[in-house]
Amino acid sequence: MRPARALIDLQALRHNYQLAREVSGARALAVIKADAYGHGAVRCAMALESEADGFAVACIEEALELRAAGIRAPVLLLEGFFEADELALIVEHDLWCVVHSLWQLEAIEKAPLSKPITVWLKLDSGMHRVGLHPADYQAAYQRLLACGKVAKIVLMSHFARADELHSTSAIEQVAVFEAARKGLSAQVSLRNSPALLGWPQVPSDWVRPGIMLYGATPFEEANAVAARLQPVMTLESKVISVRELPAGEPVGYGAKFITPRPMRIGVVAMGYADGYPRQAPTGTPVLVAGQRSQLVGRVSMDMLCIDLTDIPHAGLGSTVELWGKNILASDIAAAADTIPYQIFCNLKRVPRLYNEG
């Protein structure tokens, strides 16, 4: 059997969720959209259900997968519904629903709902992606109250640059939010992972941690709270072939790496078809047989090459950690000019093995 696999540490997931609650002192919706950022939404939800205040997903398809697996906790649809006929399912499955646009508000007003729903009313406080315009926010709130189809409203917004700790953007967005919600007595939800970890002064009755649950920092710089996160996913494989090469020999597609000295090269069963980033350059860290080494040459679809020259005890069959507890996914992301979010979401083909802890 091909040795590539992703080990998922559910105890680390629970630790990170508890850290989110402890740091924020708020209720926390575990963001498990996109198959829990590649970690497996159903298994992650099951691991957290006894302690989680609820979950957040991108769309009703993701929510229904959780309900079908028996998850009864609150589930918020972060983009609400895409078509008005989803409202009947939202009622039937007792889902919470973001309203980010006036067309959604109108659809709720018109829909014959058999039961009132919980709405999270989203403000565009400056990100300019989705969310109601500040000028429309109070009127939208009043219309939701008046239509008789809404049991509870939570006021929410989302940050564009909370991961940039020296930017004033988050504070400016909070000011826009505070002005827009003036006089409304409802719970609020603003903080995603970077805001939760980096902006303690931002109000939030409900926090929405995503990336931090999986143990990766959203920041480029060091952060004391982020340092307490535990990586959840370990992507590992094995050395399946070893080459002894003299100096001056090319390695891999495009001959992008030429051995500068006699080298021992290990071939690892892991490639971009598994989600390992093809952009990762020579020098990207790996752990082989417990020791740090580095990638050499281009990443292929199913294989990649690493340097074994100075690790004589490593060879055929040695275990290789591509990211995990020792090699941080955020370091791989930085090397490949992307973010840990994408590194995790890109995982495919590799079987996921769960450790309950």
Footprint on this chain of ligand PLP (rule: CB under 6 A): 31, 78, 158, 192-194, 208-212, 218
CB of 25 to ligand PLP, least distance (A): 17
Query: Which residue number has the CB closest to ligand PLP?
Result: 210
Q: Between residues 174 and 295, which has the closer beta carbon with respect to ligand PLP?
A: 174
Q: 75 φ, ψ to 5°?
A: -130, 120
Q: Which is nearer to ligand PLP, 212 or 311 (CB)?
A: 212
d(CA 2, CA 240): 10
8 A C-beta contact, residue 257 and residue 306? no
9/163 with CB nearer ligand PLP:
163
Cβ-contact 158, 131 below 8 angstroms: yes
| Nearest-approach distance from CB 43 to ligand PLP, in angstroms | 18
Which position among 110, 115, 253, 348 bears the catalytic label?
A: 253
Smallest separation, CB 287 to ligand PLP (Å):
26
Q: From the CB of 157, what's the least distance to ligand PLP, in Å?
A: 9
Report the distance separating Cα 279 and Cα 267, nearest Å: 18
- In this complex, which beta carbon is closest to ligand PLP, that of residue 120 or of residue 272? 120
Query: How far is it, in rounded angstroms, from Cα 55 to Cα 28?
Result: 8
Place of tokens 């829990």: 36
CB of 321 to ligand PLP, least distance (A): 23
Q: Hey, is 65 helix, strand or coil?
A: helix
Residue closer to ligand PLP (CB basis): 217 or 293: 217
253 in catalytic set: yes
| DSSP string for 162-209 | TT-TT-SHHHHHHHHHHHHTTT----EE---HHHHHH-TTS--SEE--
Per the annotation, the verdict on 214 as an active-site residue is: no
- Name which of 288, 322, 327, 324 is nearest 308 in CA terms: 288
Active-site residue (options: 17, 33, 141, 214): 33
Report d(CA 143, CA 140) in Å as an integer.
5
How far apart are alpha carbons 304 and 286 in whole angstroms?
A: 11
Q: Which residue has the tokens 């003036």?
A: 182
Shorter beta-carbon distance to ligand PLP: residue 123 or 295: 123
Distance from the first to the final alpha carbon of the chain: 25
Report, in Å, the least distance between residue 126 CB and ligand PLP. Answer: 14
Q: Where are the beta strands (DSSP E) in the chain?
A: 5-9, 27-31, 54-57, 75-77, 96-99, 117-123, 150-157, 188-189, 206-207, 233-245, 250-251, 257-258, 263-268, 285-288, 291-296, 304-307, 319-323, 352-355
CB of 201 to ligand PLP, least distance (A): 18
**Complex with ligand PLP: residue 277 or 340, whichever CB lies closer:** 340
Buried/exposed 237-276: b ≥16 CB within 10 Å, e otherwise: bbbbeeeebeeeeebbeeeebebeeebbbbbbbbbbbbbb
Catalytic residues: 33, 253
